[in-house]
Structure 1
Amino acid sequence: MRKFPFLLTVATIPAAIPAAATAQPVQSLDQVEETVLADDADDADDADATGEVEAITVTATGLFTRIENTGQAVTVIGRDEIEAVQGADITRVLARAPGVAFSRNGPPGAFTGVRVRGGEAEQLLVLIDGVRVADPASPSGGFDFGTLTTGTVGKIDLLRGSNSTIWGSDAIAGVLDISTRGRSGLAGSVEYGARDTLFASATGGLSEDAYFAGLAASFFRTDGFSSAAAGTEADGSEQFTLGGSVFVDLTDQLELFANTRYANSDIDIDGFPAPSYTLGDTSETQETEQLSGALGLAYYGQDLTLRASYALADTARDNFDPALGAAPLFTSDGNSQNLSLRGEYRLIGGLTLAFGGNREWSEYQTDSDTGEDATITGAYVQAGWVLGGLAAHVGARVDDHDRFGSATSFGGDVSYRVGGGWRLRASVGEGFKAPTLYQLYSPYGNLDLQPEQSTSADFGVEHGVRGSDFHAALTLFRRDSENLIGFDNATFTYANIARARAQGIEAELGVDLAPSLRLAGVYSLVDTENRETDNELARRPRHSATLFADWQTPLGLVIGGDLRLVGDSFDNAANTVRLEGYEVFDLRASYPFGDGVELFGRVENVFDEEYQTAAGYGSPGRGAFLGVRAQM
């Protein structure tokens, strides 16, 4: 059974296991699996004595890499933790990662932006099963997390820091890779609760030695509450997601893989009705349809691994106002296609050479214009070296955009074990973000735009990995950005008019006080500055923290709680509208019944805190939920 989540991870990342992680040269996918499972067994034995667990990342180097073999700051959250948090809201899970802030325009399903280390929401590169899923038709080209629920999510892999060296455009604030659930057998859950909310998910798969085929699906529906904090009419939402993956060993060394995801979302939204034109109740709705997927081949040779793939992502939106008729008020469609080849050559003495190239075509169209397209082509090379407790990488990339020209990116990182379970890590990276098609070609567009650029650096000390008996980390970071694109009121067009700086501290701590009691938490101090105006960047709280605990009682009942603490921030760039800080406490519990059945429930916002993450938009009050999950 353990083979298939591993297969899903390997097949959705652009490389293979580095030489330092293998005892022998990799011959085939089956040998890769055997090596990793053997390593897992060793780690499991070590965990009994030391409490250490293995953590794997794909975002740091683009390769299947242990976190301790990279100097970059990475957080990996697995399915067990996602289920422990409970519920459909992905932000309640992401709040457990340091450096993360978010804003939402109303109830679950409404537009949700995720900001990492003070970056803009659209400066976070988002991948689902290795496929870029940002909407090329949106003005800033970002991903709406309101269209993503936890039901089909198997793992969250978050890199904090610029890394365009490996990932190209958009990786200014970081890289977030979402892996779809994959398993043999069947598993499912259903919950019901406040505001007539129903959330159900299921996953299953068939497998033999040479193949795996799996599906994961989820459904979410809620009556919600008014998006406008001053409104009285509830705004509901409904979402359906279906994901699938197939892996076939054509030979001992050649694998065929495919994955796909379809998501449909219908939400009620509030607008700015006459005569006051302030945020209030309206009858407007929005439908979003997303389709993404990839098809490719992977080759696992003696010293060489290659992965070739074709990926596609499409996002279509339609806005309606029933009060004005059945015809949509606005429609848009953004599409991207990506053809890539990535590889790794394993040299001697712990040396590896990773390389890759890709060509991406993107286009958009709305009901108010005929649409435009752009092409970007990039290639990178990265050298890696692992020797004992030392691991280091250095790489460079060049991208050529058919509209603005070329961009180069450099990056490097180092990790060193100093003994006693502690290690030092450091990284430097560059990032860039190409102008969006809307910023180039809309009525407010500017064909002279240059890409946004960033340089980030961090230094940290860490003990263990997330989930081990004792995990502690302290990271200092800084990112300087320039050529930031904004709306120029003097010309009524987009222009490169801003510079920004974000710097601060991230702290993480997790400790097993007893075999049945674990306490953990993350804290972030993020100091942001618009270097043109000296103002703080909008919707970036200076202080934020999440504290969480789980206790398994002698009767088998697990009781847990999450406390989210967020400091003050400003809602606008002029720093004239303040968002007050808030504290939200969630209480949860679960209890196993027999083999493979578990009853669970929670109370969100126990103290009914009133708060806003975006000025004028409401947030959920107290709500209780009850559910059951089962697997076979």
Structure 2
Amino acid sequence: MKYLYLLGAALVVSTPAMAADNDPIVVTAMREPTPVTQIGQAISIITRDEIERTQATTATEVLARVPGVSVTNSGGFGQPSSVFIRGADNAQSLVLIDGVRINDPGDVGGGFDFGALTIGQFDRVEVVRGSAGVIWGSRAIGGVINFITKRPTEQWHGQAQAEYGWRDRKQVSASAAGMLGPVGLTLGGNWLKGDGYSAFNERRGGTEKDGFESKSANARAEVELSPGLSVDAGGYWTKANYDYDGFGADALNVGLKRDTLGYANVRYKGVDGRLSARLGYGLTDTRRISDDAVWGPYETNGKVERFEGQASFAPVELVSVLVGAETEKQKFDDNYGSQDSTSIDSVYGNLTLHLLAGLTLNGGLRYDDNSDFGDKTTFAANGAWVIGSGVDAPVLRASYGEGFKAPSLYQLYTNAGFRALDPETSKGWDVGFEQPFAEGTGRFTLTYFDRKTKNLIDYDFANWNYYNVGRARAQGVELGMQVANWNGFDVNLSYTYLDATDENTGTRLARRPKSNLYASLDKAWDLGLRLGADLRVGGGRYDDMANSQYVDGHLVVGLRGAFAVTDNVEVYGRVENLFDEHYEVVRTYGTPGRSAYAGVRVKM
């Protein structure tokens, strides 16, 4: 009855306003399709064209190019990888696949390990920077990352690619989407395998290669039952086996990561498009095994089930209302006897006002009732103002958001009986400016952000337990510039200045560089040739909270090229780390040297 009440409460309701032709639509910021110019938060969109143009193969390669985002890899593919949005911890950001949470309740902080996530099956990535706690709930302190697969259209579209390169790395992927009678289908798969390199830095003496193999598959089906009423269901599965090293030395350790998610939705749209509603179910199931060659395996299993309902309604043109309700249950166990569960029930609402031409205001509240930590109410507001009209009209943005993150099941139930932990909470704001240029094909953005977080949870090695130990502040500036297909040129520039500090000690937060720069330039010619180059400049960082171990910055250059043999066949190749830069992003862990890859891509 509780579930029915929560879902039924959501059947009230907002519909997205129509966007101009050059105004991108995003779904992650408001959990429904909304023009970017009507959202006051900072948002980045990575399209399939950009993924193919830069020849990215992993999720971290794509995310490292986004303003305000930094990535740390503890070795090569399969090794632990964290993503920090505006200095927030990896576990303080929410990660989605097709809108379904993929964060692992078996992870230390309840975060998501990006180390084995490939990008080949995804059509689009949306990154919301800044707290999205009202819309998405617990964990969305730093922001939200949504990996989106391709949606079916009336015509079938498909693609496949194969790639080979450095240290016997092989990759094959394929995807297709279209209609089979009344049913829309999306199918995809990816396989990646290679010898890899030593997770313990080879330039420090590591000699044993840490290989990997990854397999993944996705599927989605949707059908319209009657005008305005449809159902859809889908899933994503990935499994990675990899070798890894110990702390500061080669080791014959092996690991496994397996993520499975499934979802189903019933959707309705009516009242001349002004009313939309959705009832949904989502399931995430994870398994992690770290098999130490000396101490044996450590296995964790996590499971999350969610029932949710959401509805939106625009009673008049100037006003829209979004409301929703959710109930979530998490389970966790390991092979050392830890086993428990927790649940959280939530309701939320957002009001959108279009008071003046070009001005959109959004404000919302969320109420969460956690079975272990009681209730919490959070507030958020943002606004966007398009000044003038035309493709080059500037946009002003501002947002304020509160967030919270309950302690993870791992922190609670592997914590030697100490469970008196408080949720982490945050308050943050930002203000930004966007200037389109080059006839609307280019966008320049500049954003200032400031976030304070309390009750940070960390491990106390002196007392062998997790405690609420800290307060942190992260503030800085994000600069971005993107140009898409302007006279054959594509340009991407992102720069972040970040001051992320522990307010108790005054030290910098570990593994957060003060500055990060990414720049790329591509040129395409009518004969089918495309050439490009990119530059990554990572600032220095401390590897520990005491700021006693410093890791120097780095500069890495890459080159790439592609040639369209026919309208449907393209060959491509790239050289990464052209000047064989010797560097680390996590102390004692290796990074790839100069490497080369070549492949072929076929589309239909």
CA distance, structure 2, for counterparts of residue 374 and residue 98 of structure 1? 35
Structure 1 counterpart of 2:95 = 126
Shift of 1:210: 3.6
Shift of 1:219: 0.5
CA distance, structure 1, for counterparts of residue 189 and residue 33 of structure 2? 26
Q: Deviations over 1:578-613 (max 9, x none)?
A: 111001111111111112111111001111111111
Q: Deviations over 1:325-363 (max 9, x none)?
A: xxx511110111011001101110321110001010001
Structure 2 counterpart of 1:402 = 371
Shift of 1:55: 1.4
Structure 1 counterpart of 2:575 = 603
SS in 2 for 1:369: coil
Is the contact between residue 17 and residue 65 of structure 1 (CA under 8 Å) also seen in structure 2?
no
Structure 1 counterpart of 2:323 = 355
- 1:217-366 mapped onto 2 (5 Å cutoff): 217-229=189-201, 230=204, 231-272=206-247, 279-302=248-271, 303-321=274-292, 329-366=297-334
Classify 1:509/1:294 alpha carbon distance in 2 versus 1 (closer, same or farther; 3 Å): same
Classify 1:489/1:195 alpha carbon distance in 2 versus 1 (closer, same or farther; 3 Å): closer
Task: Give the number of aligned pairs.
Answer: 583
Shift of 1:265: 0.3
Structure 1 counterpart of 2:111 = 142
Structure 2 counterpart of 1:447 = 419
Shift of 1:289: 1.3
The partner residue of 1:78 within 40, 44, 47 is 47
Supply the RMSD in Å over aligned alpha carbons. 2.1
The partner residue of 1:21 within 17, 20, 26 is 17
Is the contact between residue 18 and residue 65 of structure 1 (CA under 8 Å) also seen in structure 2?
no
Is the contact between residue 181 and residue 216 of structure 1 (CA under 8 Å) also seen in structure 2?
no
SS in 2 for 1:284: strand
CA distance, structure 2, for counterparts of residue 16 and residue 214 of structure 1? 31
The letter of the residue matching 2:342 is A
Q: Deviations over 1:275-309 (max 9, x none)?
A: xxxx2111110011111010120111213211111
Classify 1:465/1:440 alpha carbon distance in 2 versus 1 (closer, same or farther; 3 Å): farther
Is the contact between residue 15 and residue 312 of structure 2 (CA under 8 Å) also seen in structure 1?
no
Shift of 1:482: 0.4
Structure 2 counterpart of 1:367 = 335
- 1:171-250 mapped onto 2 (5 Å cutoff): 171-183=140-152, 184-207=156-179, 210-229=182-201, 230=204, 231-250=206-225
Pairing 1:101–2:61 present? no
CA distance, structure 1, for counterparts of residue 158 and residue 396 of structure 2? 42
Is the contact between residue 444 and residue 494 of structure 1 (CA under 8 Å) also seen in structure 2?
no
SS in 2 for 1:617: coil
SS in 1 for 2:591: coil
SS in 1 for 2:512: coil
Structure 2 counterpart of 1:6 = none
Q: Deviations over 1:346-386 (max 9, x none)?
A: 11032111000101000100010140100011110110012
- 1:480-559 mapped onto 2 (5 Å cutoff): 480-489=452-461, 491-511=463-483, 515-553=487-525, 555-559=527-531
- In structure 2, the gaps of 5 or more residues are 1-9
The partner residue of 1:163 within 121, 127, 132 is 132
Shift of 1:17: 12
The letter of the residue matching 1:356 is G
- Aligned residues with identical type, % of pairs: 35
Q: Deviations over 1:165-199 (max 9, x none)?
A: 01000000001111123453321111100110111
Classify 1:429/1:78 alpha carbon distance in 2 versus 1 (closer, same or farther; 3 Å): same
Classify 1:572/1:144 alpha carbon distance in 2 versus 1 (closer, same or farther; 3 Å): same
Name whichever of 53-62 and 572-581 sits farther off: 53-62
Structure 2 counterpart of 1:590 = 562
CA distance, structure 2, for counterparts of residue 625 and residue 17 of structure 1? 50
CA distance, structure 1, for counterparts of residue 257 and residue 466 of structure 2? 26
CA distance, structure 2, for counterparts of residue 330 and residue 103 of structure 1? 23
CA distance, structure 2, for counterparts of residue 182 and residue 512 of structure 1? 22
CA distance, structure 1, for counterparts of residue 415 and residue 505 of structure 2? 27
Is the contact between residue 16 and residue 35 of structure 2 (CA under 8 Å) also seen in structure 1?
no
SS in 2 for 1:146: helix
CA distance, structure 1, for counterparts of residue 564 and residue 47 of structure 2? 20
CA distance, structure 1, for counterparts of residue 513 and residue 83 of structure 2? 12
Is the contact between residue 275 and residue 313 of structure 2 (CA under 8 Å) also seen in structure 1?
yes
CA distance, structure 1, for counterparts of residue 277 and residue 441 of structure 2? 37
SS in 1 for 2:379: strand
CA distance, structure 1, for counterparts of residue 115 and residue 264 of structure 2? 27
CA distance, structure 2, for counterparts of residue 15 and residue 536 of structure 1? 46
The letter of the residue matching 2:192 is F
Q: Deviations over 1:65-94 (max 9, x none)?
A: 111110100001111101111142222211
Pairing 1:411–2:383 present? no
Q: Deviations over 1:124-151 (max 9, x none)?
A: 1001111111111121111011121011
Is the contact between residue 445 and residue 493 of structure 1 (CA under 8 Å) also seen in structure 2?
no
Classify 1:169/1:120 alpha carbon distance in 2 versus 1 (closer, same or farther; 3 Å): same
Is the contact between residue 501 and residue 508 of structure 2 (CA under 8 Å) also seen in structure 1?
yes
Is the contact between residue 267 and residue 287 of structure 1 (CA under 8 Å) also seen in structure 2?
yes
The letter of the residue matching 2:284 is A
Classify 1:107/1:61 alpha carbon distance in 2 versus 1 (closer, same or farther; 3 Å): same
Name whichever of 499-508 and 546-555 sits farther off: 546-555
CA distance, structure 1, for counterparts of residue 444 and residue 263 of structure 2? 37
CA distance, structure 2, for counterparts of residue 17 and residue 416 of structure 1? 24
CA distance, structure 1, for counterparts of residue 27 and residue 555 of structure 2? 33
The letter of the residue matching 1:185 is H
Is the contact between residue 18 and residue 64 of structure 1 (CA under 8 Å) also seen in structure 2?
no
Shift of 1:21: 2.0
CA distance, structure 2, for counterparts of residue 154 and residue 599 of structure 1? 20
CA distance, structure 2, for counterparts of residue 267 and residue 561 of structure 1? 30
Classify 1:439/1:20 alpha carbon distance in 2 versus 1 (closer, same or farther; 3 Å): closer
Is the contact between residue 415 and residue 466 of structure 2 (CA under 8 Å) also seen in structure 1?
no
Classify 1:391/1:539 alpha carbon distance in 2 versus 1 (closer, same or farther; 3 Å): same
SS in 1 for 2:123: strand
CA distance, structure 2, for counterparts of residue 102 and residue 510 of structure 1? 20
Structure 2 counterpart of 1:90 = 59
CA distance, structure 2, for counterparts of residue 371 and residue 262 of structure 1? 24
CA distance, structure 2, for counterparts of residue 16 and residue 461 of structure 1? 34
- In structure 1, the gaps of 5 or more residues are 1-13, 23-38, 44-52, 273-278
Q: Deviations over 1:399-435 (max 9, x none)?
A: 0110111111100000011135101110000111110
Shift of 1:248: 0.7
Shift of 1:517: 2.4
Shift of 1:163: 1.2
Structure 2 counterpart of 1:429 = 401
The letter of the residue matching 1:294 is Y
Name whichever of 197-206 and 372-381 sits farther off: 197-206
Normalising by structure 1, what TM-score?
Answer: 0.89
The partner residue of 1:56 within 25, 31, 43 is 25
- 1:450-489 mapped onto 2 (5 Å cutoff): 450-464=422-436, 468-489=440-461
